Every structure is written in structure tokens, then in C-alpha cells.
């Protein structure tokens, strides 16, 4: 399937470049529908990536790349179930999203996240799956999960540890503060910082450069330098599910969902 | 180093330009959430604009409870 137009995302293929575009209001929160469409996307990858050399992920939504998991859906679903069933549901969701993220992580294509604005939580984790991050200078990166009594659950910590020094990882995780694009580039997270509204254009230019290389060689290089930390990823799911049973999580989610605070996204 | 007054003036000018509000409608002691009519996501935009303009880092937690331009300017001035 060369083109797809879903409710939360779409993809197109042009000149060997797959562009996966996120477009769920308000800021691409990842819930069950987004996950189902991401699964459709990785299923289609099997067929289309043979004829391509690059994959670009980007957002059509003005506020940013992705604000993370759909916490309202998570809260309402968990409230409707017994605790044990809610945890089971969370584990199933996490295992499905990890399969999707691992598949993109290990794609033979060179993958580029073109990000702007809010790149938080699960959105940050989605960007970390990619080989390169090109950031609009207005992009912000953050792991706000601790304020909910949780840790990132979509593979964020192991992938951040793969890419950055542990001191930076601890800063992001334990303080929950956000980094702007310049800080993220200084830390080694972002490969290019570009002007406002220029991330997708810069990602396309990068993808054009990649077309010059032998695909098998590029894939071999990627596999050599980008191992997937499977054991830590599994441990992360286990820890997340352990924490999810704690009262702090329900309280944190309720506070978020019911918040009329002018700054609910600020840690 | 710019003076505190200069910093405050630059913040007001930047906020007015970014959110397309007439500069003369903004005052140092205004609640910027109300005056600019911005939500949490737009507040992050303002934070990024200010960090980029002044070349400083403003940890989010230092801005908890800050809602007027003058206090915001003080936070930035302390990092210049």
C-alpha cells in the first residue's frame, strides 16, 4: 500500500522516501486508535521498504510532534476496569507499542524524525526510535512521567541511554524538565537544529542525500552502530506495570485529566 | 549584561510579536496567561522563544507559579 490516509496518521511514498505524517488533534496523543494505525503502518513497511531508502516521521499538528500517550484514554479505561484487568490492559498496550517501535527502530531504512514544538513523553520516545532527529528550533523534549508516578513506558529510558550520557538521562528523567532543541543538540540527541517550520524540508534534504548510498551498506552500518536494548526494554515494561498498581498513578492521572491548571504540560 | 529593565522590555516585545498582541497592551505586572490568552502549550512556545533569544536555560520548575512578566524577567536576568 503506497499511500494511506487514516484518522490519526497518513503515509505517502515519493522517490524512495516514506513520509509518515501524524495528524491527530490536539497534539498526536497516542491512544488505541493511533496504535492500531501504527500497526497498520509497520505491517505495510514489510512490503514498501524494499523499494525505499528513507523514512521520515513528522507532525501536521501546530502544537508539536507528539505530546505522548493519551492519558485521558488511559485514565478512563483504567477506571472502567478492575485493577488487575487494567494492569493487564496496560501491559498488552505497551507490548504492542514496543513491537511497533522496535520494528521502526530496526527498519533497514534510514529513519528521520522531523520534530517541532512539543515532543514529550511517548512522542519523545517515538523520535528516539529514529536514526536521526532534525529539530525545529522551537522543539522541546521532556519526560514528564514521574509527575504521574510512572516512568516512560514506550522504550524511552533504554533508548535514551543508548544515545546519551547517563548524567543527561538522569537530568531528563528525574527532574522532568524540558530541553529546547539547542540544549538537546548540545547533549547529542539532535543532529540538526533548523529554523521555525523548516524541519520537514531539512529532513527531506537529508533523505535525498541518503539515496546516493548503497542500501545494503547503509543498513549494515546502521545495524552495527544501533543495537536494540531488548532486555532493558522488557524490564521497562515490567517496571511500568509494577508502578501502575500504585495509588500515586491513579491520583496523578486524575489530577492531569481534571486539571484546569494553565500549565498542565509543565513539570 | 543588559539591565533588568531592558530584559523586561525585550520580553514584552517578544511576547507581543509572537502572540500578535499590540505591544502597548502589555504591562510588566500583567498576568501573561490572561493578557496573551495562552494555554500550556503556548506557554512552552514562549519559554522556548525566551531561551533562544536570551541564550539561557530556564528549567520549567523555576517557572512554577510565575504568571507576570516582571517576575519572569527576574528569572531570566538571574541566568544572564
A120-148 pLDDT per residue, tens: 999 999 999 999 999 999 999 999 999 88
Is A255 at the interface with chain B, CB within 8 A? Answer: no
What pLDDT is recorded for position B42? Answer: 85
Separation in Å, CA A121 to CA A54, A147, B6: 25, 12, 36
Residues 164-193 of A with CB under 8 A from B: 175-178, 180-183
Q: Are A226 and A163 in contact (CB under 8 A)?
A: no
Tell me if the pTM is above 0.90. yes
ipTM of the complex: 0.87
Q: What domains can be seen in chain B, in order of their start residue? A: 4-77 (1.10.1200.10)
Nearest CB to B40 within list A142, A177, A262: A262
Overall CATH class of domain A4-200+217-257: alpha beta
Separation in Å, CA A77 to CA A89, A91, A257: 9, 13, 13
Is A149 at the interface with chain B, CB within 8 A? Answer: no
Percent of chain A with pLDDT over 70: 97
CA distance linking residue A232 with residue A102, whole number of Å: 13
Is B57 at the interface with chain A, CB within 8 A? Answer: yes
A228-251 pLDDT per residue, tens: 999 999 999 999 999 999 888 888
pLDDT(A14) > 80: yes
What average pLDDT is seen over chain A? 93
Domain locations in chain A as residue ranges: 4-200+217-257
Residue whose C-alpha is closest to residue B32's, from B64, B68, B75? B68
A33-48 pLDDT per residue, tens: 999 999 999 999 999 9
Amino acid at each position: 500500500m503506497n499511500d494511506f490516509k487514516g484518522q490519526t496518521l497518513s503515509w505517502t511514498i515519493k522517490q524512495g522516501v516514506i513520509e509518515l505524517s501524524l495528524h491527530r488533534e490536539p497534539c498526536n496523543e497516542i491512544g488505541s486508535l493511533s496504535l492500531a494505525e501504527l500497526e497498520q503502518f509497520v505491517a505495510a513497511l514489510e512490503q514498501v521498504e524494499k523499494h525505499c531508502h528513507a523514512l521520515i516521521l513528522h507532525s501536521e499538528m501546530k502544537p508539536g510532534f507528539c505530546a505522548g500517550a493519551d492519558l485521558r484514554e488511559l485514565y478512563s479505561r483504567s477506571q472502567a476496569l478492575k485493577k488487575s484487568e487494567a494492569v493487564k490492559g496496560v501491559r498488552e498496550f505497551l507490548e504492542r507499542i514496543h513491537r511497533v517501535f522496535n520494528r521502526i527502530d530496526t527498519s533497514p531504512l534510514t529513519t528521520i524524525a522531523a520534530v517541532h514544538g512539543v515532543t514529550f513523553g511517548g512522542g519523545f520516545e517515538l523520535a528516539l526510535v529514529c536514526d536521526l532527529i532534525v529539530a525545529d528550533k522551537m522543539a522541546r523534549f521532556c519526560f514528564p512521567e514521574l509527575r504521574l508516578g510512572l516512568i516512560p513506558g514506550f522504550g524511552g529510558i533504554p533508548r535514551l541511554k543508548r544515545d546519551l550520557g547517563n548524567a543527561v538521562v538522569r537530568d531528563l528523567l528525574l527532574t522532568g524538565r524540558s530541553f529546547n532543541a539547542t540544549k538537546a543538540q548540545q547533549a547529542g540527541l539532535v543532529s540538526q537544529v533548523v529554523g521555525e517550520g523548516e524541519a520537514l524540508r531539512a529532513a527531506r534534504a537529508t533523505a535525498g542525500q541518503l539515496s546516493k548510498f548503497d542500501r545494503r551498506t547503509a543498513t549494515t552500518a546502521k545495524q552495527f552502530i544501533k543495537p536494540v536494548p531488548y532486555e532493558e526494554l522488557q524490564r521497562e515494561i515490567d517496571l511500568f506495570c509494577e508502578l501502575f498498581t500504585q495509588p500515586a498513578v491513579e491520583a496523578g492521572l486524575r489530577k492531569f485529566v481534571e486539571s484546569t491548571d494553565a500549565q498542565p504540560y509543565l513539570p | 549584561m543588559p539591565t533588568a529593565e531592558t530584559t523586561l522590555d525585550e520580553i514584552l516585545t517578544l511576547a507581543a510579536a509572537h502572540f500578535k498582541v499590540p505591544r502597548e497592551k502589555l504591562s510588566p505586572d500583567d498576568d501573561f496567561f490572561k493578557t496573551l490568552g495562552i494555554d500550556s502549550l503556548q506557554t512552552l512556545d514562549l519559554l522556548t522563544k525566551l531561551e533562544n533569544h536570551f541564550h539561557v536555560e530556564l528549567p520549567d520548575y523555576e517557572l512554577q507559579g510565575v504568571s507576570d512578566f516582571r517576575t519572569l524577567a527576574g528569572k531570566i536576568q538571574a541566568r544572564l
